[in-house]
Structure 1
Amino acid sequence: MEIIRYAALKPRPWRNGGGVTRELARFPESAAEGTQDGSWDWRVSIAEMSKAGDFSAFPGMDRVLTVVEGELLLLSVDGAEHPLEQYRPFRFSGDAAAAGALPTGNIRDLNVITRRGAFKGYTSIIELSKKRAHPLFGGQLGILLQGQATATPGAADGGASAAGTEPLDRYDAVVGTDSASPEILGRGFLAVVSIDPAGD
């Protein structure tokens, strides 16, 4: 079971100084790391935005942005304003001229960026249960947004979960697999990011 610990991720400042980004995952992993680089085909990251300003363009990419901390982001996309509240994913083109304003203070957002025609990204926000585990399959990341949770590796034979339960801290990400899907139990909210090949 692979867990990406948020506390271990290196923050990278934006070019405009308006925030920092921590990258959770990208594909291919050999692509150059960095907030502005587009050599990857998809990337999942969490950004802290502390002042209004323009967003970086990602030509040929599609974006799904979800406010995960803070009340409101006023996102302008090609001149149209979209008020984004917490836990409401919003999809827009990486080619668009985008800018953000912070009427209620700093925010943190989850970004899923995928290369158009190659992959498609989705973000769902689910409420966790202490009684019913939520499985994570291949092509998925589960990111703890709020509350307390544990991750347990699934059993390869489809039987009861194996030993090896790990507590999760806020914004830790669990990598899904199809062979022994890890399971998340707890109380709070989990972002489930799915990256699917285009055409599936």
Structure 2
Amino acid sequence: MEIIRYASLRAEPWRNGGGVTRELASHPTPAGGGTAPDGDWDWRVSIAEISRAGAFSTFHGMDRVLTVIDGELLLLTVDGADHPLERYRPFRFPGDAEATAALPTGDIRDLNVITRNGAFKGYTSIIELSKKRAHPVFEGQLGILLQGQATVSLGNAGAGDDSAAGAGAETDDGGANAAAAPGAPPETLDRYDAVVGSDHRTPEILGRGFLAVVSIDRVTS
């Protein structure tokens, strides 16, 4: 089981000074770990803090899913059309579109899923957690705690296989990740910590609050 601790992620300033981005995971990861330059990956999951109105970077040949996860409202203009985005409502748009953001209610934080067209497809779902029924995080998924309190533990499926991360969600090992051994007690999740999914001893999240489940599916011809 792999946990990406948000507090350990490095903030990368935007070129226009309008915010910062923290990368949770990307594929492929650069040799030696760390964060790859924009567009040098086939998919990326990140959290951005936006403190100033302005233009978004373009990602040619890619698809984006943006979800406001903190703050009330982001007014996103995509190719001249206005889209008021409320919290926890994912919005998909082309990565090469001309997009600008306005902040009518103040600073916001958003979850970004960017995938290369023809190679991967990304999806974001927001679910409410339960203290009675654990939510599994499968291979090719990330479970990100958005709000509330939660713990994660290993399930029993595939108990004989100690494989950690699913093939769809490789992450670097640069100090941001924590691994749990089989039979370990539940781990507490802090806000914006991410759990890397697996089909072997599938991680299961219990708690109260809201969880973003990001799925990265490989496109097959």
**Shorter-normalised TM range:** over 0.9
Shift of 1:162: 4.1
Does residue 199 in structure 1 map to residue 220 in structure 2?
yes
**Does the Cα contact within 8 Å between 2:158 and 2:199 map onto a contact in 1?**
no
Larger RCO (alpha carbons 8 Å, 6+ apart): 2
- Map Cα deviations across residues 51-109 of structure 1 (whole Å, 9 max, x no partner): 10000000000000000000000000000000000000000000100010000000000
- 2:11 corresponds in structure 1 to 11
Does residue 171 in structure 1 map to residue 192 in structure 2?
yes
Root-mean-square deviation (Å): 1.7
Quote the Cα distance in structure 2 between the aligned partners of 1:58 and 1:157.
Answer: 38
The aligned amino acid for 2:75 is L
- 1:2 corresponds in structure 2 to 2
Does residue 76 in structure 1 map to residue 97 in structure 2?
no
Structure 1: give runs of 5+ residues left out of the alignment.
Answer: none
- 2:163 corresponds in structure 1 to none
**Does the Cα contact within 8 Å between 1:69 and 1:86 map onto a contact in 2?**
yes
Quote the Cα distance in structure 2 between the aligned partners of 1:158 and 1:77.
Answer: 47
DSSP-derived class of the 1:76 partner: strand
Alignment of 1:1-200 (within 5 A): 1-30=1-30, 33-34=35-36, 37-157=38-158, 162-199=183-220
Identity of matched residues, %: 75
Structure 2: give runs of 5+ residues left out of the alignment.
Answer: 161-181
Shift of 1:37: 1.5
The aligned amino acid for 1:56 is S
TM-score by structure 2 length?
0.86
Quote the Cα distance in structure 2 between the aligned partners of 1:95 and 1:171.
Answer: 27
The aligned amino acid for 2:208 is R
TM-score by structure 1 length?
0.95
DSSP-derived class of the 2:7 partner: helix
**Does the Cα contact within 8 Å between 1:155 and 1:162 map onto a contact in 2?**
no
The aligned amino acid for 1:60 is G
Quote the Cα distance in structure 2 between the aligned partners of 1:96 and 1:102.
Answer: 19
Runs of 4+ residues over 4 Å off in structure 1: none
